Structure 1
Amino acid sequence: MPAGTKFVAIPDRGGKRVGSGGATLEVLKYLHEQEEDFEGLRVLVIHSGGDSKRVPQYSALGKFFSPVPHKLPNGRNSTLFDEFMISMSSVPSRIREGMVLLSGDVLLLFNPLQIDYNNVGAAAISFKENVETGKNHGVYLNGENGNVKCCLQKKSVEVLREVGAVNELDCVDIDTGALIFSTDMMRSLYSLIATEEDYDRHVNEKTRLSLYADILYPLAEDSTLEDFYQEKPEGEFCEELTEARERVWKVLRPYRMKLLRLSPAKFIHFGTTREILALMSGGVNEYSDLGWSRLVGSSIRNNAAGYNSVLSSKASVGSDCYLEVSYVHGNSKIGDRCVLSYIDIQDRIIPDGIVLHGLKQRDGRFIVRIFGVNDNPKENLLFGRDLDELERNFDVKFWENQPHTLWSANLYAEADTIQEAVDASLELYAAVTGEKVFDRDSWNAVSHKSLCAGFNDADPDAIIAWNRRMEDLVAMDEIAKAIHNQVPVDQIGKRHLLTKIQKEWVRKRLKKADFSEKMRLHYYLGMVLDDENEIQKCFQTIQSEVLESTIKNLVYNEKSRIVSERHTVKLPLRVNWGGGWSDTPPYCNENGGTVLNVAILLNGEKPVEVTLERIDDLKVIFDSRDMDVHGEFDTIEPLQMTGDPFDPFALQKACLLACGIIPREGHELSEILKRLGDGFVMHSEVTNVPKGSGLGTSSILSAACVKAVFEFMGIAYTEEDLYSHVLAMEQIMSTGGGWQDQVGGITPGLKYITSMPGLEQKIKVTHVEIPEETKRELDERFVLIYTGQRRLARNLLRDVVGRYVGNEPDSLFALEEIQKTAALMRFELERGNVDGFAKLLDYHWELSKKVDAGSSNTLIEQIFSSIEDLIDGKLVCGAGGGGFLQVILKKGVLKQEVEEHLNNVFMDSLVCVADCRLVW
């Protein structure tokens, strides 16, 4: 997560249950106290305040921090919290601002890159599920305008069909519990508690507003106030709740809730001990592609599942067992289908179907809670026996003015050691099951706690200490040798801090290091020390040195003049066929690059358009219709401020600087414009091309800007001038991109593009001539597919460059092989062998995934899989991870067949065949 991310745990008011809606208002109150306004905030709210009654071994941890069978990349064992952060980490890039809300006991597995939310009203994240599953959950009914028409909670199949919630494939839009609120809606909700009096009225144990019943209900199109009053509450019906609902209706009814239908998607419910045992004793295999495993950080040699646990050689464990942060040693024998959690077992026999969980209390004593795998602590049964009946038979008191449930029954003896507590729990089991006569005197001699009291009195520091791990240390000279010998950085041990001597060593080494060693030294230090500042210095070194070499020949052009009233440049897009990534710094600077690409039209048009127009005012105006931004500048300083990727005019400013129209520093804008012969407007637009398309739109737009400026200002240029100026723009904007995109758009047809090693890249473009018959065949067999999702190149560049700089073997091999593949592609096309080209495209796809695992994802793999029998070759466009995909059809296959296959699998999503034409 970004370094500025703030994590906060907010308890219910006064320790009383205030409902999930009340808790949401508590969050808004906290945010308002910190920021006063919600603008610009991106907030993830996870409702995780339950007691974990049905999985008591996670009560003290908090179910949200329960173990998950996954070892994280940093070597730490994962928790449900970690998995939430992983699955949700891409969401902030999909929303400009607002609040995402989730339920803390359901892990959603979906692709956040499909989220399309414009910060208006609310949005509900949904995915397709069979109606038989949907009847046991919430189902959304979609309105004609894409908003939620109504929310159907646990309705029968017949009712779901009757209201039109079931599609032709017997699927419904299921309620995942994931929601997004806009900043305006956050403000409206906050208005409910803006005063202390309003806060008291809405956030309390009696009103207990529900997020789903009280806040979502008014957002559905078909909701009515009369029906709202009758919605089942989280607490009890009361006058206070009715009045609160009336106020909630008033502030929320103006909003609507968009339905975001994502595919594919799945959820995992960590609801009961039985579900967790089923997951660990076999179900985990379904999630092996996520890196989940039956054994995580454990020393276990039989078929038991383990999480941070040890099973000694003399001990034995039965079938379908799960050891969790536990030590089983001596001659212990564990029965079948047992769960051991935070426990130490020595020379003990544990019966079948048992859960044992140890807890150290704040007073230093221990309790071990024992119950059956199938027991529900919300009920009144223990090992199948009625607790009221046992209480009468034993002639003891399990409860004192408490609900008669297993959760609140005082059954578990306090002991001085964990082994004594284990023995006490086994004595309880024997008495309850009738294996041993109950000893009332021994029972009365010690105090007992319930599942509830045991977790309330647990020592959290002891839980943390039980899990603690340490990192190894690595000497500084080993880092230098690793860099020299191309040892991957992930094979280097971790360090915490550098000593004074080590810091001095780094300073001297950096002073004499060349470009290659300097960037790698920063990167290795950053990875070894987990120091983001050092990693950033690596990328700053790349940017600054490449920028310096790129712009050294760029000068302020004092002779340019406006030569026309209006001038327009239109450019096509490009698809990359071979060599992608080899054109990207620093790889191309150290090794040179080789790329094969071709220009394309989308929807029959050249979608990139830049128009420059003279105006009478002495000002510079930027107007971007597709971005819906407009800016006017009458002073020069704002135009010279670059490097901010979130600046809506970063590209236009970089263009004027790179072309020498605006100097990098100093001067007066009015004087420059007088010399030019008036002010001007730069209109820029990319028409009908989704963001993050992978078709090179950003760099081609840069190229169009440079070309338009040169021609509008009467500046003579060559194609090589265009390439070098756009590359300078990329470095000025700090996007770190390569050079193939702008070449693909500026130069028509099929191009073979190369460069030699060096900080200053000299680009050589060769136009590839192929037979006319081959062109026709490619026109028929080439298909472009839109995935409906996007991924920002800036985000993945860091990962790809890091893998290269960190000497990751797969990355080094793939980047070298990719260049050779581009050359072989040219060879096959020149001799008219489209089948051979298609095979190379497939091989390139495998190489691309070695360069960046993020170039593919579940959606992309599913798209390719769904049309596998129709295609001979496949590759992502651009860096991948979203945008467009490209395929070569088998001979005789029609594009319509691909469209039909995709429609059958992806239904209402945005996945589709694009209208694309190769430009020869």
Structure 2
Amino acid sequence: MSWAWTVIAVTAPTRDSALAFQAELVIRQKKGIINRETAIITVDDPKPRIGSGSATLNALLLVSELLSSKAGFKIMRTEVFQTARVLILHAGRLFPFASCGRAFSTLPLKNHLTNAPNLLTEYSELPCEIDQLISFLQNYLCHNAGPGVWVCSTGMVLHLSADRVALDLTDMTGVKIFATKADPSYAKDHGVCRLSSSDPEVVEDILFQVDDLKECIMEDGTVPLISGVVFLSHQFVEKLLSLHAIPPLDACTYIGLDSGAQPLSISLFFDILRCMTYSVKLDQFIESTSTLRNRFEFDPISPLTETIKKARAILWRELRSTRLTACLLPGVEHKYPLLIANELLSVYRQIAPQHTHSRVVVIDSPVDIELDNQTFKTSLSIENAKLEEKDHSFPVVSTIENCILINSRLEGQVSIGEGSLVLHCHIEGNLQFGKRNILIELEPTIFQPYDNISSYPAVFPDDIMLQQVLLKFLPEKQPTPVCTSLLTVFGIYDNLILPVNDVTATFLNKPWEMFFSRTGIIPDDLWGLDIEADKKFLFKAKLFPVALLEGESMLSFITWLIGVNDRDLVSKWRDQWRMSMEQVLRHVSYAKTMDNRRNLTFQIGLEEMSEALVNGSPRYFLSFFRGSFHEGREVEVLKKLDEVASSLDDVIILCRVFSCIADVLGIMAGEAGGIRGGPAANANWNHAFSLIQQGKYRNAVRELASERNDWLDRPDRNLRASRHYERAAQILTSIGVLSVKQFIKGSSSGRIEIGKTLKVTCASRIDWAGGWSDTPPITYEIGGAVLDFAIEIEGRKPIVVFVKRIPEYKLELVESDGESEKEIICTELQEISDYNQPYAFASLLKACFVCTGILEYPSTRSLAHQLRDKLDSGVRVVSITYLPQGSGLGTSSILAGAILAGLWRLTGVMHDNLSLSHAVLHLEQLLTTGGGWQDQCGGIFPGAKLSSTSKGLPLKITVEEILISEEIIDKFNRHFVLVYTGKTRLARNLLQDVLRNWHARLPAIVLNVNDLALNARASVEALRNGDFVKLGKCLSMSGMHKLIMAPGSMPLRIELFIDQVKDDLLGYQMAGAGGGGFMILLTKEPNQQEKMNTILGNIPEMSGARVYPAVFSRTGLEYEILD
């Protein structure tokens, strides 16, 4: 089982925020970002500003109760921590630049949060700071750590650099603070450790916001900045929890609150941990006031009460003996925006260029951004933009003139200034935003006046932050209507906690006096009469109207505050019910805000999906589908896919849309639905299938959707519906493949006389490179190329067909493996009805009669009548294959070509090899096996050949025979070894799995498919040049390509064999799709067949394996008439 947290506990400032955070974390758990076995709890603090120490103790108490209950205890038992891995995350206090707090601030990061071993299984989620921290801890810092409790702040980003070093934290004891190296100029605004010069792990003291850090500077000139991450051993946790019932520390927890105590605020670092530092003395610790003052808090001074002193004395007495150490995190950078908006912009700029986003457009000149039914488009042509498309479920981020857009949709004539940050916005209209603007959670309605008001400008100045905040329902006693949202504005250089009388204090980046003079507002309007001057912060200024009078718009007041001269507005503004930013943040509707973000993400995802499908973009949607399902939006996705399908006439794109619907239904079914593969011929779906076959695609889409809606009630029915949508996609693929019929052309050759036997022989084939690129619909969606060799095995061509006309109007059908045979005689037309069931006996032979037109089924004419009209005889067919079934050497397709060739000759028609290759594609659609064209091309054509197709329909094969010298052929025969692995390939659903992955556009599959044809052409070049080293590399590369297409196609027992012979090989791969059958080897030395046989015989797991003598075949399909 993978490493996982036992419990994740998140502390939240309010009950509303705790509920919203819980819902967010549960969604992440459903998506697999958090392990399904992890218990998730959110803990609302006993009171606002309770302090990190009190919040930690309260969370530990609740976690202990949870674990004790799960363990079956009736009372709390602290020993439950001895085997638990617990993560406590502190969501922190109000943050003016993110209405849901720092923890759920969205970051411009690629989603790297899943723990799944295969990155292709990522689930969609917009990464927030809390996600980045969980990922950092679980995948880097804690991955080899044992039981214990990790406590982490959530306001910072811990950024891993390329030169990071893995840490071994398997045997931690006591308490450990994790620190990063930082420049003193940055660290002076944060917490710092003073480490011992003799033992750099020993923490001598913890300092907070100290300007002079000379005592802390290390040899490289940096200081150990507290990262916000702390490890607590289970022994320490048990000791700490023992204090929860001791007054006054009991007041740190909900138990004290429920017992009537006044909540006590203590700090994790400066009360609990500092008492364990090496150099701090008792009186110094108890009397210290420096840690109660925070220059970046809105209420910066907390009094040193006797209660706090008493609590510190208890902490000193009980915890002092615990060893406190520090661990520096190499290659980790600490980023923490303070209360100036420009710092937030700076952090995002530092992060964004270092990560790949879902869609990144870099343009060399300023440009308007408009909607194009996706996220945005530019007014420049695509040639002026660098476009990179990744999984749509990552943050929708664009960099335009150094701008960052995250999860945003811009419509109309919206212009974004250089260097701006746009978060969770949907903006419409003719709006121009200045340079370095920060726009957060803006909605279209905010820019629409409630009445016919047109006085506000369309242009917003540089360097401002506009943020829309969704509010909780406010008290009903208010005399005027209230908004459910509110718009705030600041300058990005404004310090929100500088007193108004400070000469450097600003609003909208200009001195307060200029604002007062322009607007007519006076300080008492903003702060009242009773607040002291040094408490009059911008953060507490009641600037923003909440309840609006009739005919007023929120935007009109904001633009007036920004700079529109309208002296009449000041009296209207005074009449409004107004809030400060502090008050606004205390009334945030966390749940509504989170829902709005998700709604916007989902709508962008739908638009991206639709555009990508219509344009044939190779976008990967499974993560979006999974994410939508876990958010309960799967039906909306299905409806959107129906809408896209209804607009299409292109069978290629429509086929993929049907496959997408099948994927959504499969996700809905989940494990409870059963196995994805299965039958898809329920009669209820037949009418829709018939409409597809008739080319009535829009009607078919409606019929499929109508039927599907009756199958959404249970997982098993979801899955069965999924199979039928895959069948619909297969029908469309068949329609595409059947376009080959125009290239099936024969010439008159004279009938074979009754009684004479026509013998048709074909070589087998080995696929050297390019396999899978021949598979429909891949082969006509992007084109394909395969290098094959025709080979003779054990001195003969292994595929033989005998056909002859017989006097009786019947079919005598015989299948043989050269040692035994089985025969069926058909005298009634109904006896060939199973020609399209691949596993029925003689179905291939029967399908060949239908494909050649000798027989028509269904028909009102009897079998005898049809034989009389077509041949004036019956037919006997004997098919012989001297190879085991599932050999991987293309036997069935080559055999089909030989049978078709023989039957057509009976009717007096001769088809050339290229026509036969197209005909086998047609036949395999009738047979419903699907499959590509390289098998028949490889065996029907002689020698080495490069077969290929171009992108698009109709599907047309071209074959280039590779002319090579006898010397190269001879060398090939001496270095080529064909090994039968002892077991046939069992891959009934292999093709379906590969096509399912292709339709889903799994990124690895898309990249791999693009490489298949390239490798085939590289192999041709090596062959022509006689470069066997390169030829061997291409062979092994082809094997790697096959493993990507079909994981598991190289069985473990084969790997055991390869391990013993790899030093003797230039290259190797499994023949065909792999999984069993034959293996192709190219040896360094000639004539290695006996050596390989000997090695095979010494490997117990390779029982039954042996080398088959095989050589290059200079001839392909051949006819011979026998008397």
| TM-score (norm. length: structure 2) | 0.41
| TM-score (norm. length: structure 1) | 0.49
Task: From the CA coordinates, give the structure whose radius of gyration is larger.
Answer: 2
